[in-house]
Structure 1
Amino acid sequence: MKQFIRQVFTDILENPVFDHKLIEHYFSKDYVQSVDRTQLNYEEFILHIKKLKEKVIVQKIDIINYAERESTIFTNHMARSALKDGSTVVHKVMAEFTIQENKIIKCDELTLLVEGKPAEKDLGSEI
């Protein structure tokens, strides 16, 4: 599962291009994401990814650690983002992904802005 999540990070988050087909490939239509106190459904998640592509030039995800059991993988990772306004932000992310039928159906995530403008605190859930 670690390789699967790594590929999702590469193809969806690190890819500078919005690709709806890739989202469909990796995420269930029943997908639900909880980020801090915000919940996104599948359609809202698509809007979130579009918003990221509008704001971010380059994003790099570094997995610090992970644990997996059955259909769940937990990651502790750092998301480093260079924004189109010239600023840089770094978020520490703890995320628990549930995978069913080779698609992510749920993500329960906590994010912490480690570096950057306070206005970018909610970059992980912005739509």
Structure 2
Amino acid sequence: MHHTERLKACLQRVICDPAFPLAELNAWFTPDYCQEVNGERLDYPAFHQHIATLRRHLAGASIEFVATLAQGERVHSTHVVRATRQDGGTLVCKVSGLFTFRGDRICHTDEVTCLLAGSKEDADIGSRR
């Protein structure tokens, strides 16, 4: 599977699939994975905590891929995430991320997440733990 398709499948599964088990993160991300979001660095344990927090906070989400560009082991994606919180509120954020692969797993992400609509409390949605 090409890295672009692998990235799309990963984000759809991890962010949008309500049945996603956290144990499956290892299939998509390397053990030394790190993510930089809006200047904050999350190592693998912090990223795992972030995804667990999103799973508790969000009732559902969808992703619209606006554009992707692949070069070697890297894929840049601009995508829009629309989500519904457990309390029924909604949010929309735009993500610009550079994803680096090692083999078929993501080892690094450099991302900027911008809240376009929703509560100011959700401004940290890209790194919340």
Q: What range is the shorter-chain TM-score in?
A: over 0.9
Q: Mind listing any 5+ residue stretches in structure 1 that lack a counterpart? A: none
Q: TM-score, normalised by structure 1?
A: 0.97
Identity of aligned residues (%): 26
| Match for residue 24 of structure 1 among 23, 26, 29 | 26
Deviation at 1:18, TM superposition (A): 4.5
| Match for residue 70 of structure 2 among 68, 71, 91 | 68
Deviation at 1:85, TM superposition (A): 1.1
Superimposed CA distance per residue, residues 73-116 of structure 1 (whole angstroms, 9 cap, x where no aligned partner) = 00000011100111000000000000002110000000111000
Residues 17 and 53 in structure 1, CA contact (< 8 A), matched pair in contact too: no
Runs (4 or more) in structure 1 with deviation over 3 Å come to none
Partner of 1:120 in structure 2? 122
Partner of 1:57 in structure 2? 59
Match status 1:11 vs 2:39: no
Partner of 2:83 in structure 1? 81
Deviation at 1:22, TM superposition (A): 1.8
Letter in 2 for 1:124: G
Partner of 1:102 in structure 2? 104
Residues 73 and 97 in structure 1, CA contact (< 8 A), matched pair in contact too: yes
Letter in 2 for 1:66: T
Deviation at 1:21, TM superposition (A): 2.9
Q: Mind listing any 5+ residue stretches in structure 2 that lack a counterpart? A: none
| Match for residue 34 of structure 1 among 36, 42, 46 | 36
CA distance in 2, matches of 1:43, 1:19: 15
Q: How many residues align?
A: 127
Q: TM-score, normalised by structure 2?
A: 0.95
